[in-house]
Amino acid sequence: MKYMLIMRATDEAYEQFGEVDFTEMIETMGRYNDELIRAGVLLAAEGLHDAEEGVVVDYSADPPIVTDGPYGETKELFGGFYILNVTSKEEAIEWAKRSPVRGKGFKTEIRRVSTIDEFPQDNEWIKRERAWREATGQL
């Protein structure tokens, strides 16, 4: 089963994290990532640039409204993610508990990633996606 570990934090937590030595942070995250790789569970991992560099596309109007980041009234921002291939939600939780990114204001949300097999297989769009996934080695 695939699970996404969504790394979230408050503005205050990100400010605090910014005070950590960059080399030390890379070393710490590298060791954690290496554990995931050696365990054979890591499928993907990415960090995101500062929210102020992003944009928001709001679909409340037609046409949609695009505004520059940050994202207005948020309590927490999504800062990066891991996608793990594990046997259970409990295993995903155990990996999240080992994350070196911790402290007041940091959280990890864990969500199962749906598979293509969970959708109606006779649907034309699902058939096309399955063919694409097979052609790109994702299935």
β strands within the chain, DSSP E: 2-9, 42-47, 55-58, 65-68, 77-85, 106-112
Element (H, E) at 26: helix 22-39
Q: Report the alpha-carbon distance of residue 71 to residue 35 in Å, rounded.
A: 33
Ranges of the chain whose pLDDT falls below 70: 70-74
Q: Tens of pLDDT along 11-41? A: 788 778 777 888 998 899 999 999 999 999 9
Domains along the chain? Answer: 2-113 (3.30.70.1060)
111 within 8 A of 84, measured Cβ to Cβ: no
